[in-house]
Amino acid sequence: MIDLHIIQQAVLESRDGAAIVDLRQKDRPVVFVNPAFERITGYTETEVLGRNCRFLQGNDTKQPETSIINKAIAAGEYCMVTLRNYRKDGSLFWNELSLSPIYSAAGELTHYIGMQRDITDRIALIQQLLKQKEKLQHQNQYLQILNNIDTLTGINNRRYFDSQLNIQWNIALRNRFPVSLFMVEIDYFKQFNDIYGHLAGDECLKVVAKTLSNYLRRVSDFIARYGGEKFVILINNINEKQAQAFADQLRSQVQSLAIAHEESPIAHYVSVSIGHCTLIPELDMNAKTFLQRADEALYQAKAAGRNQAIKN
């Protein structure tokens, strides 16, 4: 087992801010912050301890991401959101916040650890790119965008995914960070079309696609319709545990839509099976093998009874 001193040093030396809150105390006060947290926010440890982290939102408290955080804490689940936070000097920074539950040896949820990353520069670049995109008026540029979109669901199509997979793979290979691929397939979709008709099937595809898209939290997250009733999602820089939690939450989100499906043995509602793979690319690997591993995991999820998320 790794030395606790090493873990402590890793947290203290991390470039990402870290804060631990105590759920057993009133208003979930902060009980620990690392030096990076102080650096990012401008607040000292003394000024932060004993306070709820919401003070970093200043008067900007109506952000929808706060409800995501509250739901995750109530359920004892992992979540990742991007918040507008404010430093001690009042300046805005965009906080990519990853929250993970901490359980006691007895299985009691006692604390949450929040890892924060200042992505202000990334957001500024994205906003700049969006402004430039809005200025593009030429018809050929507009048609190029349309060529990347699945006309039924409005999300990216298979051709665009194929190009993005190689791009994301090479970026992860160059920067040595993990990339996760999720293959999502609607269970018993042929039977759904047979019972309710293709128009209802098309509507089901659109609703599921929108639900999956809405659950993506970061601008860099990528979703596409892979074909038929199958979707693919690419996410970078999360670990296997986070990927499994994300896949389980995706599956739960679709099932909670409660779309009737009389021929499905899974509570008579539309559900999805998910296969996923997370790895750090190496020179002797390729994106095609990565895709195959996720597809194999999807096959295992279907063989195990469907409405499951399995990693490979």
Q: For residue 141, is pLDDT > 80?
A: no
Given this model, what pLDDT does residue 151 score?
A: 87
Q: For residue 283, is pLDDT > 90?
A: no
**Structure confidence at residue 136 as a pLDDT band (50, 70, 90):** low
Given this model, what pLDDT does residue 83 score?
A: 93
Given this model, what pLDDT does residue 178 score?
A: 93
For 159-185, what is the mean pLDDT?
A: 91
For 126-154, what is the mean pLDDT?
A: 74
CATH superfamily of 4-122: PAS domain (3.30.450.20)
Given this model, what pLDDT does residue 10 score?
A: 76
For 104-131, what is the mean pLDDT?
A: 90
Instruction: Return the higher-pLDDT residue of 10 and 94.
Output: 94
Please name the CATH architecture into which domain 140-311 falls: 2-Layer Sandwich (3.30)
Instruction: Return the higher-pLDDT residue of 46 and 217.
Output: 46
Given this model, what pLDDT does residue 139 score?
A: 57
State the catalytic residue, choosing from 229, 262, 282, 296.
229
Given this model, what pLDDT does residue 132 score?
A: 79
Q: For residue 277, is pLDDT > 80?
A: yes
For the chain, the structural domain boundaries read 4-122, 140-311
For 210-218, what is the mean pLDDT?
A: 89
Given this model, what pLDDT does residue 137 score?
A: 57
Q: For residues 230 and 184, is the Cβ–Cβ distance under 8 A?
A: yes
pLDDT in tens, 7-41: 778 778 888 999 999 999 999 999 999 999 999 99
pLDDT in tens, 233-261: 999 999 999 999 999 999 999 999 999 99
The overall average pLDDT reported for the chain is: 91
Alpha helices in the chain (DSSP H): 4-13, 35-41, 45-48, 65-75, 120-134, 139-147, 158-175, 189-196, 198-215, 240-255, 287-303
Q: For residues 34 and 22, is the Cβ–Cβ distance under 8 A?
A: no
Q: Is 256 exposed, middle or buried (0-12, 13-18, 19+ CB in 10 A)?
A: exposed
Percent residues over pLDDT 70 in the chain: 95
Given this model, what pLDDT does residue 140 score?
A: 59
Active site residue 203: no
**What are 234's strand-pairing partners?**
181, 222
- Name the amino acid, one letter, at 260: A
For 167-185, what is the mean pLDDT?
A: 92
For 161-180, what is the mean pLDDT?
A: 90
Same fold, 4-122 and 140-311: no
The DSSP symbol for 56 reads: G
Q: For residue 217, is pLDDT > 90?
A: no
Given this model, what pLDDT does residue 127 score?
A: 86
Sign, CA torsion 171/232/243/253: positive
Q: For residue 138, is pLDDT > 70?
A: no
